[in-house]
Amino acid sequence: MAPVRFAYACAGCHSLAFDKRFNEGVPHDKPEVVHAFLVQKFSEYIAEHPAEVQVMRDPGRDLTGKPVQAAVRVYTAKEWVAARIDEAEELLWRKTCKQCHALAPGAPQRKLPVVEPGRTTVRWMPHANFDHDAHRGFFCVSCHEKALRSTETSDVLLPGIATCKACHAPGLEHAESRCFECHTYHDWSKRKEIKPTFTLPALRTGGS
């Protein structure tokens, strides 16, 4: 079974949105790539909308019943881009990305976090050989009967040996059940060539 990929298994719901000004999300990539993407998008945006360097901010309301004018701050284009990137990355690093990834702080001189590598189990039975191709004639739930009731990604839905033995059992009416059907005794990748010493006729007669 192929491991889960973000593009086809996650992106339909997790858009990686970062700012209401854009319909697209950030790329599902390293923090450096995400940061460069944000710099480009906000730089292009403010170049097309220069009036937005004037940012209206809601005032603090320390005194009740007294109207207070909204504060206006005028940024340079560079300051505006930096402020928007900080807001977007605050959302991404602290919420969006953390839904699936473990993030650790980077070095002091590096603002970007370190994303722990994804630990996706590709081969669940390292000591056995299994091929789904030979089982295409069966419904998935025939072997993975807990799959339809599973609600947690931590659930391991591998069937036990008893499920396999329903088909793989002694007798002509069953599938092959001897050990070699699923297991390889020798690791041929570690094979070493040897120099033969005996011949079969010599072994039969006891000669050297």
Each domain of the chain, given as residue ranges in start order, spans: 6-115, 124-208
- From residue 54, how far is each of 46, 60, 74, 175 by CA, in Å? 11, 18, 4, 74
Query: Which residues, at least 6 apart from 77, have a Cβ–Cβ distance to it below 8 Å?
Result: 43, 46, 47, 50, 53
Angle formed at CA 117 by CA 114 and CA 118, multiple of 5 degrees? 135
At 1 the pLDDT is 60
Question: Please, is 18 exposed, middle or buried when counting C-beta atoms within 10 Å of its C-beta (0-12, 13-18, 19+)?
Answer: buried
pLDDT in tens, 21-54: 999 999 999 999 999 999 999 999 999 999 988 8
Percent of the chain with pLDDT strictly greater than 90: 33
Question: Please, is 53 exposed, middle or buried when counting C-beta atoms within 10 Å of its C-beta (0-12, 13-18, 19+)?
Answer: middle
At 89 the pLDDT is 94
Tokens 């990355």 sit on residue: 89
Are 75 and 53 in contact, with CB atoms under 8 Å apart? Answer: yes
pLDDT under 70: residue ranges of the chain: 1-2, 57-70, 109-110, 206-208
At 125 the pLDDT is 83
At 74 the pLDDT is 84
Tokens 């460069």 sit on residue: 36
